[in-house]
Amino acid sequence: MLVPLETGPTVARLSAAWQPAGTSLFEGLVECATMVLKTQTCRFSGLRIYPGRGVLYIRVDGQQFLFLKQKCRSLFIQRKRPAKLAWTTLYRKQHRKDLEAQVARKKRRNVTRSATRSVAGTSLEIIAKKKAEKPEARKASREAALREIKERSKKQKTDKAQQKLQAKAAGGKAVKNMPKGGGKVNIR
C-alpha cells in the first residue's frame, strides 16, 4: 500500500525537531581547510604547473626544464624567445598587460611642498623681512636702486668720453698704412 508523502507544516515541524533551536544546519560541521597545492612554474611560458601536469625535459648536460605542455617544450627546443610570444607571462610583463597588478598598484601623487630656504648670501631673516614689506615700500626701494644704476652708467659714459678726448689730444695722427715687418731675408 502506498502512503502519500506529507508536505506542509508537519514536514517543517519534523525537520525542526531534530535541529536544536537557534542553530543553523551547517553549524556543527567542521570547517575544511583549503588544500595547498605545490605548483611549479613553466620555464618557457611562466605559467603555473599543477601537480600531475607538465612535461619534464632533461638536457644532455643534466639540466632539467619543466614545461606546462608539449607546445612550450617544442618552442623552447626551437630556441624561440618567450618575450616575442604574446601569451607568455614575460611578454605580458614587458608590454604591461597585467591589468590586475596595475589596478592594485596605487598611483602616487607628487605633492609639491614649498619650503623657504636661505639662498646664497641671504639668510632666512632677510627673506622674511622682504616678504613682510609693504608693496609701496618695495616699489620705492626698487625705484631708488634703478635711479642709482642709471646714474652710475651715465657717469661711466662721461668718463669714457673724457678719456677718448684726452687720448686724441695727447697723441698725434696715427699712421694709417704701416708696412708689415718680417719681409724676406736675403742671405748671400
Residue 173 resides in a domain: no
Taking the C-alpha atoms of residue 157 and residue 27, their distance in angstroms, rounded to an integer, is: 103
pLDDT at residue 180, as a whole number: 73
Q: Are residues 45 and 75 in the same domain?
A: yes
Q: Are residues 97 and 129 in the same domain?
A: no
Residue 21 in grid coordinates: 533551536
How many domains, in total, are found in the chain?
2
Q: Are residues 44 and 78 in the same domain?
A: yes
Residue 77 resides in a domain: yes
As separate numbers, helices (DSSP H) first and strands (DSSP E) second, the chain gives 6, 4
Burial environment of residue 89 by CB neighbours within 10 A (0 to 12, 13 to 18, 19 or more): middle
Burial environment of residue 55 by CB neighbours within 10 A (0 to 12, 13 to 18, 19 or more): middle
Residue 128 resides in a domain: yes
pLDDT at residue 5, as a whole number: 53
Q: Assign residue 57 the CATH number of its domain.
A: 2.30.170.20
Q: Which residues contact 85 (CB under 8 A, 6 or more apart)?
A: 75, 91
pTM here is 0.38
pLDDT at residue 110, as a whole number: 79
pLDDT at residue 84, as a whole number: 95
pLDDT at residue 96, as a whole number: 87
pLDDT at residue 66, as a whole number: 96
Residues 77 and 55: beta-carbon distance below 8 Å:
no
Ranges of residues in the chain whose predicted pLDDT is under 50: 11
Strand segments (E) across 55-125? 55-58, 64-67
Domain housing 144: 124-166
| Sign of the CA dihedral with 74 first, then 78, 82, and 86 last | negative
Q: Are residues 58 and 100 in the same domain?
A: yes
pLDDT at residue 9, as a whole number: 54
pLDDT at residue 127, as a whole number: 83
pLDDT at residue 29, as a whole number: 59
Q: Are residues 130 and 100 in the same domain?
A: no
pLDDT at residue 102, as a whole number: 62
pLDDT at residue 43, as a whole number: 96
Residue 152 resides in a domain: yes
